């Protein structure tokens, strides 16, 4: 009986250890995705015109300040764990601040993933690292070939270096080539040994003359942990020091509702 009891305890200890390792992998997979989409990435002011050569470059106001309500949702298929978090986020004078308004779901994912993602974004902004993720000629080679679709145009983009902040994929432009609608691709560098593929889709809209990201979808395939998903939506209250107009809010809402 004593030997049987000891064997049972050892099996339970081993099972707990395996669960801890799997939870760690789950958190790591979410963290990988979070790093890929942390914060609204910078956009080249003339990216569609310069890359596609289908429209005349015009002066475009860069995004320098915003206050936005951010909705985040993380989910792991393998472990059936998920969490939600909503927070006010603000970029001003080169500083990023956030205030969590509500949260629910897995305590582990909320603390180790969603809050950690906001903290990581704060660190990136403070260190001046955001420019490394920008859709600019410093970071990407833009194809001279434009592929015409029924309603959109596509331009391939190739990162100039292997970086977890850069995508290997394409820009999706409006039919006339003048507006950036989406950037789609996979991370040019896998953040860790455990990840085999990280796909990211960033959705954009022009709100009151300023192009901003309005949503991001991301999935990561992680060894032994399956597929993890992370979605983020942005609802802007102000952009570049100006209140967002009702018309712009409708555009943003319509854009988010399409995915």
Domain positions in the chain are 2-256
Question: How confident is the model at residue 239, as a pLDDT?
Answer: 96
Asked if residue 211 lies in contact with residue 205, where contact means CB atoms within 8 angstroms, the answer is yes
Question: How confident is the model at residue 90, as a pLDDT?
Answer: 96
Residue numbers of the chain with a pLDDT score lower than 50? 52-57
Question: How confident is the model at residue 53, as a pLDDT?
Answer: 45
Whole-prediction pTM = 0.82
Distance CA 54, CA 56 (A): 7
Question: How confident is the model at residue 190, as a pLDDT?
Answer: 77
Query: In this structure, what is the dihedral angle of CA atoms 212, 215, 219, 225, given to the nearest 10 degrees?
Result: 120
Question: How confident is the model at residue 72, as a pLDDT?
Answer: 95
Phi first, then psi: give them for residue 159, nearest 5 degrees.
Answer: -70, 145
pLDDT digits (tens, 9 = 90+) for 194-205: 677 889 999 999
Q: Which CATH code for domain 2-256?
A: 2.50.20
């Amino acid at each position: 009986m004593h030997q049987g009891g000891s064997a049972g305890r050892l099996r339970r200890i081993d099972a707990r250890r395996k669960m801890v390792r799997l939870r760690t992998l789950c958190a790591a997979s979410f963290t990988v995705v979070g790093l890929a989409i942390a914060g609204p990435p910078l956009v080249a002011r003339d990216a569609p015109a310069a890359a596609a050569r289908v429209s005349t470059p015009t002066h475009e106001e860069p995004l320098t300040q915003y206050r936005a309500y951010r909705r985040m949702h993380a989910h792991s298929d393998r472990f059936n764990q998920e969490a939600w978090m909503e927070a006010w986020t603000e970029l001003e004078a080169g500083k990023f601040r956030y205030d969590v308004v509500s949260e629910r779901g897995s305590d582990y994912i909320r603390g180790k993933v969603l809050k950690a993602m906001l903290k990581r974004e704060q660190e990136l902004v403070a260190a001046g690292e955001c420019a490394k993720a920008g859709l600019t000629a410093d970071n990407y080679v833009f194809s001279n070939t434009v592929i015409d679709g029924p309603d959109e145009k596509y331009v391939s983009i190739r990162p100039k270096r292997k970086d977890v902040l850069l995508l290997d994929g394409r820009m999706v432009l409006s039919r006339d080539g003048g507006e950036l609608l989406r950037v789609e691709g996979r991370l040019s560098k896998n953040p860790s040994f455990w990840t085999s593929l990280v796909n990211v889709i960033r959705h954009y809209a022009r709100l009151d003359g300023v192009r901003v990201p309005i949503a991001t979808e991301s999935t990561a395939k992680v060894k032994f942990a399956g597929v993890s998903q992370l979605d983020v939506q942005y609802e802007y209250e102000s952009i570049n020091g100006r209140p967002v107009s009702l018309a712009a809010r409708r555009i943003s809402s319509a854009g988010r509702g399409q995915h």
